[in-house]
Chain A
Amino acid sequence: MTKPITTPLTQALAEGKLTRDELKSFMRRSNIPAFKRLAIWVIVLLLTSSAVYFSLGTAWVFPAMFVHGVVLVHHFSLQHECVHYTVFRTRWLNDLFGSICGVIIGLPHTHFRYEHCDHHTYTQIDGDDPELVPMPKSFASYLFYLTAIPYWRTKFTEIWRHSFGRLTASEKRFIPKVAYKLVFLEARLMLAAYLTLVGVMVIFDWYSPLFYWIFPLILGEPVMRFIRMTEHVGRPTVSQMRENTRTNLVSLPWRFLCWNMNYHAEHHYVSSVPFHALPRLHEKLKDHIHVEHNGYIGAHRDILQQLNLPSSKSNSGV
């Protein structure tokens, strides 16, 4: 008989960690939780952008742009949920909001969707997982990753390459031929939009986008790199989901910003479960996954300890 492939979900069901009725309950979708969270999201954005407005011309503009940027870079979390079609029950809303987030943070949605599929298929498998963040080899490379310079370099290069109709060999592994045109079109549209904005800023001497978007994004991205590292970096590069992924228990503001994606191992177990059900799924799976009780800071302590740095052996954290 033709058999389905073994996935973390099939394993969880076979081992009785999860029943079929529970799975159905966890997967239930609705537009209402998403719109409620988005309403608060918009209020938070208004508050942080107001802080930038009122601090312009003072030294406070830098912390204000940083805080605003931390919120802006978390559009990645919303986009990531949209990639899984788990934000809204109405499927096209996921495509729409995912694409909007992609423009805000410079991450083309279609390309990310295909890339992310392979991340879920080959999580932490070196050479196959296209999103694998390697364990830093030194404290210097750890810090360099956190600057987000390598991230921006990769993203700019990707958009530029795709806008010229080119894909790398590894991209051809996860993007089907029928999607090439869409990936190229998406990159061209994004590049055109960004270049148009630059043109408008120069022609009309209007530089507000720099203070409300670009500078905050640059200032905030290291925080997103810090958070993204906590998901898999320092965990074993093996296929076993209970080993290769880390769930981080963090406080409510961080859970809000990351759309509950701190429950990362649960998400990898059952990626069809929407953000609002992940805390319930955590209660069900918490004894079967790797949980970092000290949150993002605890995860980085773990990473730094693996770097075998004298400073990481103290309790001062990072």
Chain B
Amino acid sequence: MKREKTWKDLVPVAELEDQWVSRVTFGSRLIAVYDTPSGYYASLALCNHGGADLCDGYFDGHIIECPLHQGAFDVRNGKPISAPATRRMITFETRNVDGILQIRI
């Protein structure tokens, strides 16, 4: 049976890099958290093309670019927008509760 997703504390918002991508360890996962003009977004941190850490990539607005091959994704929905990224990346819903960023996972 599929487990129901619940909200979990991820990181204090104050610890996130301003208008950039931050790397957060969550259990066994590496999560990339994006501070964008329209709020916070989160995804798995490793690029689904070559496995590089997106948190070392170039971030601009809502676009995260992989540091290895410059494939890029829209962090709002995980959609690939530049080759060689071709598959949607896994994203998580986020919310800010009293200064703590939570993800639904």
Chain A positions within 8 Å of B, measured between CB atoms, are 1-5, 7, 9-10, 13, 20, 23-24, 27, 29, 83-86, 89, 91, 110, 113-114, 117, 120-121, 176, 178-179, 270-272
Give 15 A-B contacts (CB < 8 Å), ordered by A residue. Answer: A2-B30, A7-B68, A9-B67, A9-B68, A10-B56, A83-B70, A86-B70, A89-B60, A91-B82, A121-B69, A176-B86, A271-B67, A271-B68, A271-B69, A272-B70
Hey, which chain A residues are within 8 Å of B68, CB to CB?
A: 5, 7, 9, 120-121, 271
Nearest CB of B to A193, in Å: 22
Give the distance in Å from the alpha carbon of A83 to the alpha carbon of B63 in the complex.
17
Is the pair A2, B46 in contact by a Cβ cutoff of 8 Å? yes
Q: How far is the CB of B50 from chain A (nearest CB, A)?
A: 6
Contact partner, A114, options B30, B60, B72, B84, Cβ 8 Å: B84
Q: A29 CA to B60 CA in the complex, in Å? A: 9
| Complex Cα gap A2–B56 (Å) | 16
B71 nearest in chain A by CB position: A117
Q: Which residue in chain A gives the minimum CB-CB distance to B46?
A: A4
B86 in complex: contacting residue of A29, A85, A178, CB < 8 Å: A178
Using Cβ atoms and an 8 Å threshold, which residues of chain A touch B63? 91
Contact A91 B52 (CB under 8 A): no
- Asked if B35 is an interface residue, CB under 8 A from chain A, the answer is no
Contacts A5-B50, A176-B86; A85 near B70 (Cβ below 8 A) = yes
A271 touches B70 (CB 8 A): yes
